[in-house]
Structure 1
Amino acid sequence: MSESGDSQEAFGEAFGRTTDPLSAFEPVFEELRADPLEFFIEEDLLNSGLKEGTIAGHLVTYQQWREYMSEVGRHPACPSEEHVQGFARWLQEDLGNQSVVTIRQKLQKLNRAYRFWQEEPTLPHTLEYDIVRSARNKIDWSEFEDTETKRPHPIPIEAIRERISEITDLLDYTCVLLQLKLGLRVGEVRNVRFRDLNIPDEELAAVYPALGTHELVTDRPDILYIPSKTERDGNKSTVGRLLPIDEEVRRILVRYLLIRPSVDDEHLPISQRHDRPSGRHINNVWQDAFLPEYGETNEYRAVSSHFGRHYFTTYWKKEQGLQSELVQYMRGDRVGDPVSDGSAMHHYLHTYYRDIEDRYRKDIYQLVPKEPWSVV
């Protein structure tokens, strides 16, 4: 811990204070049917006299704040300074087209809501500590300057097909394909275990008896379960999700599993060196395939392993116009009411998986050549 961090901890212990004071109120907010953001919008924003376009800009910011806080698993009315700073980075890194000026403006819009909560006597946000303003003042904006206007390369799908077809290692190809086709993070790919994946195949079942034994996938063919961050260390999604395995992903997974090294390890991805590929290795695979053509420029940031998740999200949101809550489900973001117990989780997963399965299988983009190619 830094010297300033030591001092902060010492002050907190001495005066009975915490750097995350609103965390204590989150369970209460989660139980309430009332929405503090909607309360602010109705009571303050819509009565502010601002122009319609300005109000619309505020509403976009608040929707993005909801989405980000859903991803990190925190109620939007209960941020810490870390959440506010993370939101600033998320606006730039995940949305990809946010300049420093735009990010500062959005934090000001967020602070407007927070100040309203501070002045509302029925809410627990005290006037003595403005978390949003404090967090904004602590951000090192110089870290944002090099990429402040940069967004991901708009790579045509034909170019994506061509680039990944040049990946000659089958495990590397499988990892990249899972990220592109399912929007998975690197850690989630590395964390896939045999029981999470149900691919009906007699030959595979004989080699991998644990395949498809998780209770959520047992009765569903061609499906993958991605556990939440609370279920499995290394995953970052707020909630678990079930995702369809289409024909081309199934074909590659079967092909990989038949040549996977015989190692006593429950994780699916194992290299010929008998270990799991590291996150850095998978990122290098992406960069070897797409750089230098899709490297960093004055307008775009370099392709990395995050590109697959970005492409997947953009495709479903913008090209397919899928409902936001269904895109959030496929990404592993929190949607609807929080899951309180196992039975509720099963109902939740069933509901959203049922809603996306047919659409996914019908409309997901195709990336794999039908005929065998050079991957070994």
Structure 2
Amino acid sequence: MSDAEPADVEDPITYFLEDMGYHGKHERTRAAYERVLRGFEAFLADRGITGPANADRRACLAWVASLRGEYAESTVATYASYCNRFYSYMTQVGAFDANPMTLVVEEMDESIDADPTRREITVSRMREFVAGITHPGDRAVLLTLLKTGLRVGELCNLDLRDLRLSHGGVRDAYPDLGTRGRLDGRPDTLFVDPDISTGEATNGEVRSASNKRKRVTLLPVDRELRAALAAWLAVRPDARSDAEPLFCSTRDAWGARLTPEMVRETVTKYARDAGWYRTGGGASENVTPHYFRHFFTTHLRDRTGDRGIVKYLRGDVAADVIDTYTHNWGDRVRDVYLENVYSLG
């Protein structure tokens, strides 16, 4: 895109939405983007700013702040990501000079690390917590969140094809396991697909959650997580979906793909039993799937001393950093991760 002639755009939002259609994005996705972007445009107009091309970082920050009075934090983050993607695209095609949302979104991504009042749980205490989880599905889900830093929606979107596991019995039982081309020659690895959006079909199944990554991420699976995943696959029920989700329900919706709500309910149950969750408690007190991402970030970063590798694994780094670590995936990210990841077994 960057080599193309600058686009002459009268209505940048319409231009962006039309290009989304050309790229095959579902009508419902385009409608969601239009609703958010038109709202952003109206906010700017109320402040005397004529269109997104003339907005600066402070205007974008003010818009995000205005959303917090009306929407949940997760929704605010989604809307901000829509606006960021819009600006990024328009910058790449030459219609805009810069993306004023870049710093705003980065600040939002890093807020999990900057909260000094957030509950802090030691590795040894988390190890005791995990030891009390005996259900193989729940144990595999929680260990995957704790040892990879995946967002809950990204975990739910995993299919069998996204996991390469060096466990003979499991491979024989599941011929679909690890069939992604990018997993060839990479044992014990999870593939996280950035091109999964709410309401769009992936691998033949319409998804209820989006993956919030800019590019493919390859996550190492250590011995401990490999054992938990193998134990889960040994008892995993037949899936309702031909997409063969990695994680299926063993409760009321037997065989259905786990949803973010199901995962949150499971984590809440165990956290409440541990005294880590209270109805009405805030993010500084309650342990949630999002907290597990914070736990992963904090403890792995402290152990490695390499913020770049942790950001690569989290899936929220700049493109040039991703290229660097993807190129050296085998001898850089994987080795550093396996040498430093904490044990919870």
Counterpart CA distance in 1 for 2:110 and 2:231 is: 38
**Cα drift, residue 360 of structure 1:** 1.4
Separation in 1, partners of 2:316, 2:41? 35
The one-character-per-residue Cα deviations of 1:78-127 (angstroms, maximum 9, x if unpaired) are 124xx7765665554x23427xxxxxxxxxxxxxxxxxxxxxxxxxxxxx
Question: Out of 279, 293, 304, which is 2:260 matched to?
Answer: 279
Counterpart CA distance in 1 for 2:186 and 2:106 is 36
Cα shift at 1:338 = 8.2
- Give the aligned partner of residue 357 of structure 1: 334
Counterpart of 2:19 in structure 1 is: none
Q: 2:296 aligns with which of 294, 312, 320?
A: 312
TM-score normalised to structure 1 length: 0.58
- CA shift in 2, pair 1:218/1:172, >3 Å: same
Cα gap change, 1:325/1:298 in structure 2, threshold over 3 Å: closer, same or farther?
A: closer
* CA distances 1:113-143 after superposition (whole Å, capped 9, x unpaired): xxxxxxxxxxxxxxxxxxxxxxxxxxxxxxx
- Identify which of 154, 159, 164 aligns with 1:193: 159
Offset of 1:253 from its aligned partner? Answer: 0.8
Does 1:78 pair with 2:87? no
2:226 pairs, out of 237, 250, 253, with 250
Structure whose alpha-carbon radius of gyration is higher: 1
In 2, distance between residues paired with 1:6 and 1:356? 38
The residue that corresponds to 1:269 in the other structure is: 247
Return the offset for 1:352.
Answer: 3.7
Secondary structure class of the residue paired with 2:191 = strand
| SS of alignment partner, residue 190 of structure 2 | strand
| Cross-structure match for 2:178 | 212
- Contact 2:163–2:177 (CA under 8 A) maintained in structure 1: yes
| Distance across 2 between alignment mates of 1:360 and 1:276 | 29
Structure 2 match to 1:175: 141
Of residues 313, 331, 338, the one that matches 2:314 is 331
Q: Select which of 42, 48, 64 maps to 1:8.
A: 42
Q: Deviations over 1:51-70 (max 9, x none)?
A: xxxxxxxxxxxxxxxxx99x
The share of aligned pairs that are identical, in percent, is: 27
Give the aligned residue type for 2:179.
T
- Pairing 1:1-376 to 2, within 5 Å after superposition: 5=39, 8=42, 18-19=51-52, 77-80=98-101, 89-90=108-109, 92=111, 94-97=112-115, 150-151=117-118, 153-229=119-195, 234-263=210-239, 264-272=242-250, 273-291=254-272, 293-295=275-277, 300-322=284-306, 324-337=307-320, 349-368=326-345
Contact 1:242 1:353 in 2 (8 A): no
CA contact (8 A) 1:22 1:78 kept: no
CA apart distance, 1:335: 3.3
State TM-score, norm by structure 2.
0.63
Q: Which amino acid aligns with 2:100?
A: P
What is the alpha-carbon distance in structure 2 between the residues aligned to residue 6 and residue 227 of structure 1? Answer: 28
Whole-Å Cα distance in 2 between the matches of residues 259 and 158 of structure 1? 28
1:286: how far off?
1.8
Aligned length: 257
Q: AA paired with 2:157?
A: N
Instruction: Give the CA deviation at 1:218.
Output: 1.7
- Mapped to 2, the partners of 1:267 and 1:86 lie a distance apart of 30
Structure 1 letter corresponding to 2:285: R
How far is the alpha carbon of 1:242 from its aligned partner? Answer: 1.0
Instruction: Provide the rounded CA distance (Å) in 2 between the counterparts of 1:179 and 1:84.
Output: 26
Report the Cα offset of residue 359 of structure 1: 1.8
- For residues 157-189 of structure 1, the C-alpha deviation after alignment (integer angstroms, 9 at most, x for no partner) is 122122222234321221111010111110111
CA distance in 1, matches of 2:162, 2:315: 15
SS of residue in 2 equivalent to 1:293:
coil
Contact 2:41 2:51 (8 Å CA) reproduced: no
Specify whether residues 352 and 329 from structure 1 end up closer, same or farther in structure 2 by C-alpha distance, changes over 3 A only.
farther
CA distance in 2, matches of 1:87, 1:317: 17
Question: 1:247: how far off?
Answer: 0.8
Q: How far apart are residue 154 of structure 1 and its match?
A: 1.0
Q: Classify the secondary structure of the residue corresponding to 2:182.
A: coil
User: C-alpha distance in 1, partners of 2:283/2:194?
Assistant: 34
Query: Which 5+ residue runs of structure 2 have no aligned equivalent?
Result: 1-34, 57-79, 92-97
Aligned-residue RMSD, C-alpha = 3.8
User: Residues 90 and 348 of structure 1: is their aligned pair in 2 closer, same or farther, counting only changes over 3 Å?
Assistant: closer
CA apart distance, 1:201: 3.1
